[in-house]
Structure 1
Amino acid sequence: MAETLLPSSLRYARYTPTHEDSYVHSMRQLISKDLSEPYSIYVYRYFLYQWGDLCFMAFDNDPLDPDPDSARMVGVVVCKLEPHRGGPLRGYIAMLAVKEEYRGKGIATKLVRMAIDAMADRGADEIALETEITNTAAIKLYERLGFLRSKRLHRYYLNGNSAYRLLLYLKEGVGSIRSFDPYGPPTDQNPVSPPATSLLRENGE
């Protein structure tokens, strides 16, 4: 008999280092299953040590088990927040994953909303991410939340797949904020759309 997933059994939590070992292990298992390219433990620590408060997790609690630590992780979003090339304060959704049998239940949307709210509370001007152009479910999810396609990145992933860069502007006029690149060619005047760089990718429902 197929397992029935009860909405009341789901709970969401912000990452804390208290359970770092078990959390990181569960994250790696969840994210690496469908990811376009593998990440080492150091990549997870890079994000969690600096921006752990921007990481949110979804758990499925067995309603008959009183121990909350027995819950299994079924979704996660990992982010960072820092100035982008001397310009706007940019949030970045680096990883998003939801366990396959839990997709279509709004978990990814809930996690992304929590991440957006957390980054907005910390003063983010905009939020960026990349996703494979074939990941139509993720693209639809982000566009429903107000993200816009900014650029197509040819053969962006190690597997040769291309990606879309998506941007969400949180403050009026941010799309015309000029980003200063000290290594770029000299420019004379007038705003341009902020260029974007990436560190990691995402996957999810």
Structure 2
Amino acid sequence: MSAHEASLTNVPELHFVQYHISKEEEYLPVIRQLISKDLSEPYSIYVYRYFLLQWPDLCYMAQDADQNLIGVVVSKLEHHRSGTHRGYIAMLAVEEAHRGKGIATKLVRIAIDAMAQRNADEIVLETEITNTASLKLYEGLGFLRSKRLYRYYLNGNTAFRLVLYLKEGTGLKCPVHPSAAGGEMRSEY
């Protein structure tokens, strides 16, 4: 048993469930409340609905024994201009009282597995450069720092873009520009 699995055994009757649109009225307010406590960006209801209505199958929640929501990961998967099938982890939050128990790691692993099963080439996300807990979590799962995004957040903080390559050679693909003659590929990086 890994340290991660051992830490989850310290959480009695923890359940991981997939978001379902039919339960939007029940889940959405609780998801918004949980995420708004932790993330640097104030998201409107439309941002949540953008993700949850288009990719409900890529939103996973952790619930305690009483079915209270204690953690959530919100993701999407679509084709990127580089030609990759790119997953994106938009939001991750765990109630403060339940942190350090492996719940965030489990939620991210579930999301990674779901995107890999849907043929994702890579998964990206952004996190504040000062968020050492987040960086440790993602880098522990194999994510690499790919770009520094200065003053990325509304609060003026800088972010790292992190990427997890799921398929060999994915990081070598270059964005396709419509203006490129003869189907040439040029890199923007």
SS at match of 1:128: strand
TM normalised by structure 1 equals 0.82
In the alignment, which of 25, 32, 41 is matched to residue 21 of structure 1? 25
Is 1:81 paired with 2:77?
yes
Q: Could you list the per-position Cα deviations for residues 59-93 of structure 1 after superposition, in whole angstroms to 9, with x for gaps in the alignment?
A: 0113xxxxxxxx21000000010111151010000
- Once residues 98 and 112 of structure 2 are traced to their aligned partners in structure 1, the CA distance between those partners, rounded to angstroms, is 21
- Once residues 121 and 153 of structure 1 are traced to their aligned partners in structure 2, the CA distance between those partners, rounded to angstroms, is 29
Tell me how large the CA RMSD over aligned residues is.
2.2
Give the C-alpha shift of residue 8 in structure 1: 2.3
> Bigger relative contact order, structure 1 or 2, given CA contacts below 8 A and separation 6+?
1
Contact 2:10 2:101 in 1 (8 A): no
Q: Structure 2 vs 1, CA of residues 149 and 58 (structure 1 numbering), >3 Å: closer, same or farther? A: same
Counting matched residue pairs gives 181
Give the C-alpha shift of residue 37 in structure 1: 1.5
After TM superposition, the runs of 4+ consecutive aligned structure 1 residues lying more than 2 A away are: 186-195
Q: Structure 2 vs 1, CA of residues 145 and 191 (structure 1 numbering), >3 Å: closer, same or farther? A: farther
In the alignment, which of 93, 98, 101 is matched to residue 97 of structure 2? 101
Matches within 5 A, 1:1-205: 7-62=11-66, 71-182=67-178
Q: Could you list the per-position Cα deviations for residues 122-144 of structure 1 after superposition, in whole angstroms to 9, with x for gaps in the alignment?
A: 00000000000000000010011
Contact 2:82 2:173 in 1 (8 A): no
SS at match of 1:33: helix
Contact 1:126 1:168 in 2 (8 A): yes
- Once residues 126 and 154 of structure 2 are traced to their aligned partners in structure 1, the CA distance between those partners, rounded to angstroms, is 14
Q: Which AA in structure 1 matches 2:143?
A: F
Higher helix share: 2
Q: Structure 2 vs 1, CA of residues 192 and 138 (structure 1 numbering), >3 Å: closer, same or farther? A: farther
- Once residues 75 and 193 of structure 1 are traced to their aligned partners in structure 2, the CA distance between those partners, rounded to angstroms, is 38
